[in-house]
């Protein structure tokens, strides 16, 4: 490392308490992820807080409320989503010229802390215990946001000149839909490469699976459950819940087929799969259920996406498989299951030889992180910027996603420091 790089690492270590205070401030803003019609919470206040900090260090700060049209028509977004009270932020530190631009990205929304009575401490008041910082979002992902903001602030405070632009982008709605990232792309936020500071455990995530959420509905025929019923061809009742067993058995066969098929394998990610998650059926305790539906999570790989990045080919295969399976049951053959497709969350993959991967791997190692290439079986905003925003983006952040979405969520304080150090080194080396 150069003397300038060592100076930056030392300054971040010396600023440990300031970094903790920054993350603590971020946790205190209630930015709980929303359902479609939920009112805004404190998203605007958090973005204003970050904007003021970044502006004070010389950034050109853009905070805006997207228009609903920016995300309308996307397979990823439920119709009717609005951004009132939920602005996005992009802060640009102009480079001196001749270098590559780099974006640091993170989402400000967090999942609900409920049930709050299962927390050891107040989820909105970050607290240090045994070297860990506890609070909602400390891990996912206000800790990562704090690390990237503090890394940039340290570079500016020390007067480190960068040749390329350095952009800090914080968006809403990752936990609920990905709408914030789509709005940022529509607004023109981009760079030559990007790092999303999700809690990767210091792995460099280069890919993620996408997801579909099919709702399969099976019709039955209502009738009195305490009376003996004639055959259904003679007008008797049909139990939709029992008929759903044929569908679930088909899911199991398809899952096993996908588990072993070569086109459903990936060197980093788990195979394409489908998991039933919500079942609803029946109308009354003494009535044969006339309908039963099952909602499932169908995760698919980057190579399974269509030419536009979506899961249409997987949808078609799933529908054909289910239609074929229904032929084995006389009732379902004449009353085929119906599929309702909801949102489609796209997968992504950055080519393994892209230089941003080596840049963050080397920077992480020099900052004392044990790192390697990995991926996420779920999804994160890097997919949007990579697929639709012309910004190849990887994930890199502190430990670990297993600490997210739980009571007593936490991030190790040492991880925040090392993450900030690695991000600062990556910026110096990438931007020049």
Answer for the pair 217, 344: CB distance below 8 angstroms, yes or no.
no
Edge-first strand listing for the sheet containing 132-134:
127-129, 132-134, 410-412
Helix (H) or strand (E) holding 326, with range, is helix 312-326
Question: Among 293, 322, 344, where does a domain finish?
Answer: 344
The two structure tokens encoding residue 294: 């099952």
Specify the pLDDT at position 239.
Answer: 97
> Mean pLDDT for each consecutive 10-residue tract of the chain (432 residues)?
96 98 98 90 98 98 96 90 96 96 98 95 96 97 98 98 98 94 97 98 97 97 95 96 97 96 96 96 96 97 93 96 96 97 94 96 97 96 94 95 92 98 98 96
Q: Are residues 100 and 126 in the same domain?
A: yes
Q: Are residues 273 and 195 in the same domain?
A: no
How many secondary structure helices (H) and strands (E) does the chain include? Answer: 11, 16
Question: Among 296, 318, 344, where does a domain finish?
Answer: 344
Q: Are residues 18 and 61 in the same domain?
A: yes
3-state helix, strand, coil in the chain (%, to 5): 35, 20, 40
Q: Any residues with CB less than 8 A from the CB of 267 and at least 6 apart, and which? A: none
Q: Are residues 183 and 113 in the same domain?
A: yes
CA 125 to chain centre: 24
The two structure tokens encoding residue 31: 């930015």
Task: Report the DSSP pairing between strands 204-208 and 193-196.
Answer: unpaired
Q: Would you list the DSSP string of 51-73?
A: HHHHHHTT-EEEEEPPPGGGTTT
Question: Among 323, 344, 365, where does a domain finish?
Answer: 344
Q: Are residues 37 and 166 in the same domain?
A: yes
Q: What is the CATH number of the domain that holds 130?
A: 3.40.630.10
Q: What is the CATH number of the domain that holds 247?
A: 3.30.70.360
Pick the closest to residue 127 from 46, 20, 42, 14 (CA basis): 20
Domain ranges, residue 250: 211-344
Specify the pLDDT at position 29.
Answer: 98
Q: Any residues with CB less than 8 A from the CB of 17 and at least 6 apart, and which? A: none
Pick the closest to residue 402 from 143, 118, 139 (CA basis): 139
Q: In whole angstroms, what is the distance from residue 15 CA to residue 8 CA?
A: 11
Q: In whole angstroms, what is the distance from residue 416 CA to residue 420 CA?
A: 6
- Which residues lie across from 338 on neighbouring strands? 217
Answer for the pair 305, 383: CB distance below 8 angstroms, yes or no.
no
Specify the pLDDT at position 119.
Answer: 96
Q: Computed from CA positions of residues 297, 216, 342, 301, in that sequence, does the dihedral angle turn out positive or negative?
A: positive
Q: Are residues 414 and 335 in the same domain?
A: no
Residue 118, SS3?
helix
Q: Are residues 330 and 397 in the same domain?
A: no
User: What letter does residue 142 receive in the DSSP assignment?
Assistant: H
Q: Any residues with CB less than 8 A from the CB of 286 and at least 6 apart, and which? A: 224, 225, 226
Q: In whole angstroms, what is the distance from residue 47 CA to residue 35 CA?
A: 20
Q: Any residues with CB less than 8 A from the CB of 135 and at least 6 apart, and which? A: 24, 27, 121, 122, 123, 124, 125, 126, 127, 409, 410
* Cis bond before residue 149 (omega within 30° of 0): no
Q: Are residues 203 and 226 in the same domain?
A: no
Answer for the pair 199, 140: CB distance below 8 angstroms, yes or no.
yes
Q: Are residues 77 and 185 in the same domain?
A: yes
Answer for the pair 363, 425: CB distance below 8 angstroms, yes or no.
yes
Q: Are residues 10 and 82 in the same domain?
A: yes
Structurally, how many domains does the chain consist of? 2
Q: In whole angstroms, what is the distance from residue 134 CA to residue 70 CA?
A: 36
Specify the pLDDT at position 260.
Answer: 95
Specify the pLDDT at position 35.
Answer: 84
Specify the pLDDT at position 236.
Answer: 96
Q: Are residues 354 and 318 in the same domain?
A: no
Q: Which residue has the tokens 């205070």?
A: 21
Q: Are residues 305 and 263 in the same domain?
A: yes
């Amino acid at each position: 490392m150069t003397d300038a790089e060592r100076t930056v690492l030392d300054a971040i270590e010396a600023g440990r308490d300031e970094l903790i205070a920054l993350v603590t401030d971020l946790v205190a803003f209630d930015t709980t992820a929303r359902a479609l019609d939920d009112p805004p919470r404190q998203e605007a206040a958090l973005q204003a807080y970050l904007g003021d900090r970044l502006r004070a260090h010389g950034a050109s700060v853009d905070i805006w409320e997207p228009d609903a049209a920016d995300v309308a028509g996307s397979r990823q977004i439920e119709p009717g989503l609005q951004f009132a009270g939920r602005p996005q932020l992009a802060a640009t530190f102009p480079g001196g010229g001749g270098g590559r631009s780099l974006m640091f990205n993170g989402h400000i929304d967090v999942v609900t802390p409920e049930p709050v009575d299962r927390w050891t401490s107040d989820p909105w008041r970050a607290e240090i215990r045994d070297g860990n910082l506890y609070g909602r979002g400390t891990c996912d992902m206000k800790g990562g946001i704090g690390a990237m903001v503090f890394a940039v602030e340290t570079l500016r405070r020390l007067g480190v000149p960068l040749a390329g632009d350095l952009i800090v982008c914080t968006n809403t709605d990752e936990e609920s839909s990905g709408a914030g990232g789509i709005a940022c792309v529509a607004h023109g936020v981009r760079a030559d490469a990007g790092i999303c500071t999700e809690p990767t455990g210091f792995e460099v995530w280069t890919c993620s699976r996408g997801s579909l959420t099919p709702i399969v509905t099976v019709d039955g025929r209502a009738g009195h459950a305490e009376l003996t019923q004639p055959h259904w061809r003679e007008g008797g009742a049909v139990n939709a819940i029992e008929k759903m067993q044929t569908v679930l058995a088909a899911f199991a066969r398809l899952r096993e087929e996908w588990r072993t098929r070569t086109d459903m394998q990936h060197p980093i990610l788990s195979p394409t799969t489908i998991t039933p998650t919500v079942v609803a059926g029946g109308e009354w305790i003494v009535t044969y259920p006339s309908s039963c539906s099952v909602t499932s999570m169908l995760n698919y790989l980057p190579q399974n996406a269509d030419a536009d990045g979506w899961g249409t080919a997987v949808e078609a295969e799933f529908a054909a498989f289910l239609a074929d399976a229904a032929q084995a049951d006389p009732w379902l053959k004449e009353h085929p299951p119906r599929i309702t497709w909801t949102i489609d969350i796209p997968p992504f993959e950055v080519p393994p030889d892209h230089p941003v991967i080596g840049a963050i791997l080397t920077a992480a190692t020099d900052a004392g992180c044990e790192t390697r290439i990995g991926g996420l079986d779920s999804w994160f905003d890097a997919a949007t910027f990579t697929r639709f925003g012309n910004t190849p983006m990887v994930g890199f952040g502190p430990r670990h996603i297993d600490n997210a979405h739980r009571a007593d969520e936490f991030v190790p304080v040492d991880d925040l420091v090392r993450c900030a150090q690695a991000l600062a080194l990556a910026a110096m080396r990438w931007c020049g």
